[in-house]
Amino acid sequence: MRRRLVSLLSFSCLLVALAWADAAIAQTSLFLINEQTQVRSIRFKFADGQTFEGALLKEQIALTEQPGLWGFGPGFRKRLSWIPTINDVGVHPFSPVEMQKDVVRLRRFYNRNGFLQPEIDWLTDLDTTKNTIKILFTVDEGPPLLLDDLVFQDSTGRPAVAQFPASLRDDWDAFRDRIALQQGQRLDEFRLLQLEDAALGWVRDRGYAFARVDAESEVDSLANRADVIIRLDAGPRARISEIEVEGSESVSPNVVRRELPFREGDRFSYSKLVEGQREVFGLNLFQIALADVPEDQPADSSVVVRLRVREGAPRIVSGSIGYLSEAGATTQAQWTHRNFFGGARTFTASAVANSGLGAIVAEPQRLYRGSVSLRQPYFFNRRVALLGSPFAEYRDDDRNESTTYGGTATLLYELEQLKTASLQYGIELRDVKEYRTASTANLDLSTIRDFARQDSLQDVLAGRVDRSTLTLSGTYGELDDELSPRKGFILRPSAEVALPFPITSIEYGRLGATATGFFPLGSSIGLYGRINGGKLFPFGTSIPGDGPDDALIEFVRLRNVVFLGGGTGDVRGWGTGLLGPKVPDVQQNITEATDTAPADTTLSASRYVGIGGLTKVTATAEIRLPFPGFGSNFGTFVFVDAGRVWTDDDRFFIDEEPDPRFAGLDINPDRIFYSTGAGLEFATPVGAIRFSVGYKLNPDYFDLRSPQDVLAAIQNDTPLSEVEPKEISVLGLFSIPESNRIHLHFSIGQTF
């Protein structure tokens, strides 16, 4: 049996503590307490070094304190307790006896964590007017217990290595040397369990299915050192003789077995057993999938492995409702059959609608998409799946109004959930009804030309834009929590090429990558960072000719693949696609002739449209903080974003003279733009509800001015320098100058 690291304090310690409690009470006037005395606060003071946070120590004791709110005391919370989301301070009674018990609890906690002789005392401050008491625990941890020597033996006391064949001894020596690196570290019960688990895992991964491991410690309390002996009984080395599947009803047992990384006759490996359990559960067919070695079998050279599963409902209907500030109310519905005609095939029919209802932008991003997909697992290999998915889509956004039909075929390789690679072939046939704008990509000339010219280009640009693409993409990452991560990273590289066959209107290569990281800065504070970049390489039919509008036409045909910046999940402070090059979205309003008035055409611009570029780089740094007083589901964050979107291909520049009306104005859409801001979030089962305010630190000329004001100045030949930045009047009391520096973002769901 495992011996305890240290002998725990006996009950006599508690009796002694209670014996001098009366004297302590007298010394601190605790005789004035009564049943209504409440604990105002509990604090900890450390004499020499601190190993554990005060919040963790408070979890070890029975007394509780009156909670504050937003860094203020309990009184502030009491005054705001009428607000539905803010609870009152509650009842936190004080008991001298319980306080003495808490001292014992804290000592035992330190004993379990490798501190043999902690000295813990307390001080109190009684407020007789409010009938509240403050408690201060003073802690002197003392020297920690350190791991001195580590020995591996079998049950007879011989060196453990004697149980292994010569082929495993070099591997064993390497494992033992790695474990020996822990010598000199603090030894507690958890580390002792870690040593046991490491030794057991090594042995069971090499075929010893019936191995047993036990750890003992010999403590020198004077030197604060401990020797650890790990007794290891490896037992016989076994091969898998049978794989049992229990609980499978509509799913064939062979479907379960093919997902396992081992077969009958293979050497037993516990890590592969765990991997197989994860793979079977990943089929999304079972509520439970447990892999184990039945105990009621003889310990010999063969071992039976058992998979116990419980099937879930094969058909699932799901849906969600969300909101994006740029797209308004969004909905998604999905029907899935998880064992379509057997074989664990998954058939899914889904629909997505971004309605634009309630969007806070003038022209919302509307999208309606329907698709069906069929996923065939185990495509010649348990890690490879084949997916096919036709779709239909209607889009009405700042790029164009279009209808698209197409489909994709994907080979997916999945090592783990965040370690995947895919090769996808796609084809789409897009009918473009209207391009939102057809302005030149060469905004370095700082000019807005004849906006009406875009209507003359609509006949050339509208119509069919078809493409066939081959895309290679991957995901590699590790997260501690996939819905609300605090630690880990995700890398997402991708490469796409438009193929000249069987059908295409545009030809290009496209590279992109996103790196996301989560770094904890404390128990409740974290850093989130993201870097995103990409580059587009037009070739073939997408290379402009020598015509006056060829560069413009080919660039606009690439509108669905060029890079845009700004938005809720990008550089906040700017709306979606409005970081960098942009122009007013000019609309013609035609009034038909009447008996009293001739036909008339007027121009208006209610928004800007992002033009995008062939290259993009953006970065985000965000500090995530708690929201005191609102529970763990609430949080706050502050951020700094930066980004640049530009075109550095001379073939897409039009050689024209700059418009003199823009001389001396701050128009440089190719530079790096910065924004900062803050926000609130609330965790839900489908992701966080996030509200944030972004502030442009270095806006350009167009960022600060209304598109209608700019258009009117051009039409009236007014100097553009006289167009004032937009401002907002608040209830007629005051105005916010340069109000376009501020941009609001709202989202539901993951944004990383």
Give the count of alpha carbons within 13 A of 445, CB side only. 17
Q: Which of 182, 205, 233 is the last residue of a domain?
A: 233
What residues have CB less than 8 Å from 190, skipping those under 6 apart? 113
DSSP string of 434-496? EES----S-GGG-----TTHHHHHHHHHSEEEEEEEEEEEEEEEEES-SSS-SSEEEEEEEEE
What residues have CB less than 8 Å from 15, skipping those under 6 apart? none
φ, ψ for residue 194 (rounded to 5)? -60, -40
Mean pLDDT along residues 435-459: 42
- Tokens at 62, concatenated: 């029975």
Which burial class, exposed, middle or buried, applies to 415 when counting CB atoms under 10 A from its CB (0-12, 13-18, 19+)? exposed
Please report whether residue 441 resides in a domain. Answer: no
Please report whether residue 355 resides in a domain. Answer: no
Q: In this predicted structure, which of 197-201, 589-593, 639-643, 690-694 has the lowest mean pLDDT?
A: 589-593
Mean predicted lDDT score pLDDT of the chain: 84
- Position 462 scores a pLDDT of 61
- Rounded Cα–Cα distance for residues 183 and 176 (Å): 12
User: Exposure pattern of 474-485 as b/e (b: 16+ CB <10 Å)?
Assistant: bbebebeeeebb
pLDDT tens string 629-648: 677 778 899 999 999 999 88
- Tokens at 355, concatenated: 């309605």
- Position 3 scores a pLDDT of 39
- Position 663 scores a pLDDT of 66
Same-domain pairing of 46 and 182: no
**Residue whose token pair is 């379990």:** 112
- Position 8 scores a pLDDT of 32
Q: Which of 271, 290, 311 is the last residue of a domain?
A: 311
Mean pLDDT along residues 693-719: 87
**Residue whose token pair is 């704008």:** 437
Helix axes 11-19, 96-112, angle to 10 degrees: 140
pLDDT tens string 402-414: 899 999 999 999 9
Asked if residue 330 lies in contact with residue 323, where contact means CB atoms within 8 angstroms, the answer is yes
- Rounded Cα–Cα distance for residues 484 and 751 (Å): 11
Same-domain pairing of 52 and 181: no
Q: Residue 314 corresponds to which amino acid?
A: P
Same-domain pairing of 590 and 717: yes
Residues in a beta bridge with 491: 476, 515
Q: In this predicted structure, which of 155-169, 285-299, 585-599 has the lowest mean pLDDT?
A: 585-599
Quick one: pLDDT band at residue 602, thresholds 50, 70, 90?
confident
Residue 648's nearest CA partner among 610, 611, 616, 609 is: 616
Provide the whole-model pTM: 0.71
Please report whether residue 594 resides in a domain. Answer: yes
Q: Name the percent of the chain in helix, strand, coil, to the closest 5.
A: 20, 40, 40
- Residue count of the chain, please give it: 752
Q: CATH number, domain at 131?
A: 3.10.20.310
Same-domain pairing of 155 and 38: no
Same-domain pairing of 305 and 203: no
pLDDT at 237 over 90: yes
Quick one: pLDDT band at residue 435, thresholds 50, 70, 90?
low
pLDDT at 454 over 50: no
The SS3 of residue 134 is strand
- Rounded Cα–Cα distance for residues 380 and 386 (Å): 10
Same-domain pairing of 17 and 87: yes
Mean pLDDT along residues 660-669: 71
Please report whether residue 656 resides in a domain. Answer: yes
- Position 452 scores a pLDDT of 36
- Position 532 scores a pLDDT of 96
- Position 699 scores a pLDDT of 92
- Position 61 scores a pLDDT of 95
Same-domain pairing of 643 and 736: yes
Quick one: pLDDT band at residue 436, thresholds 50, 70, 90?
low
710 versus 7: which is more confidently predicted? 710
Quick one: pLDDT band at residue 29, thresholds 50, 70, 90?
low
- Position 731 scores a pLDDT of 60
pLDDT tens string 472-515: 999 999 998 877 788 999 999 999 999 988 888 899 999 999 99
pLDDT at 44 over 60: yes
Please report whether residue 247 resides in a domain. Answer: yes
Of the ranges 146-155, 316-325, 442-451, 664-673, which is most confident? 146-155
Residue 295's nearest CA partner among 215, 237, 209, 236 is: 209
pLDDT tens string 242-284: 999 999 888 889 999 999 999 999 999 999 999 999 889 888 8
Please report whether residue 351 resides in a domain. Answer: no
Asked if residue 603 lies in contact with residue 715, where contact means CB atoms within 8 angstroms, the answer is yes
592 versus 150: which is more confidently predicted? 150
Q: In this predicted structure, which of 165-174, 188-197, 397-406 has the lowest mean pLDDT?
A: 397-406
**Residue whose token pair is 């049996």:** 1
Mean pLDDT along residues 443-457: 39
Asked if residue 438 lies in contact with residue 457, where contact means CB atoms within 8 angstroms, the answer is yes
Q: In this predicted structure, which of 289-303, 442-456, 619-633 has the lowest mean pLDDT?
A: 442-456
* Total count of domains within the chain: 4
Full domain range(s) for residue 736: 512-748
pLDDT tens string 193-210: 999 999 999 999 999 999
Whether residue 502 has a cis bond before it, omega within 30° of 0: yes
- Position 15 scores a pLDDT of 36
pLDDT at 21 over 90: no
Asked if residue 610 lies in contact with residue 579, where contact means CB atoms within 8 angstroms, the answer is yes
DSSP string of 666-712? ---TTS-EEEEEEEEEEEETTEEEEEEEEEESS--HHHHS-HHHHHH
pLDDT at 158 over 60: yes
Please report whether residue 367 resides in a domain. Answer: no
Mean pLDDT along residues 305-333: 87
% residues pLDDT > 90 (the chain)? 47
Same-domain pairing of 658 and 697: yes
Quick one: pLDDT band at residue 717, thresholds 50, 70, 90?
confident
pLDDT at 592 over 90: no
Please report whether residue 636 resides in a domain. Answer: yes
Same-domain pairing of 243 and 215: no
- Rounded Cα–Cα distance for residues 406 and 412 (Å): 19
Same-domain pairing of 93 and 179: no
% residues pLDDT > 70 (the chain)? 87
Q: Which of 107, 124, 140 is the last residue of a domain?
A: 140
Same-domain pairing of 219 and 294: no
pLDDT at 2 over 70: no
- Rounded Cα–Cα distance for residues 506 and 555 (Å): 10
**Residue whose token pair is 């926000």:** 679
Quick one: pLDDT band at residue 75, thresholds 50, 70, 90?
confident
Same-domain pairing of 224 and 293: no
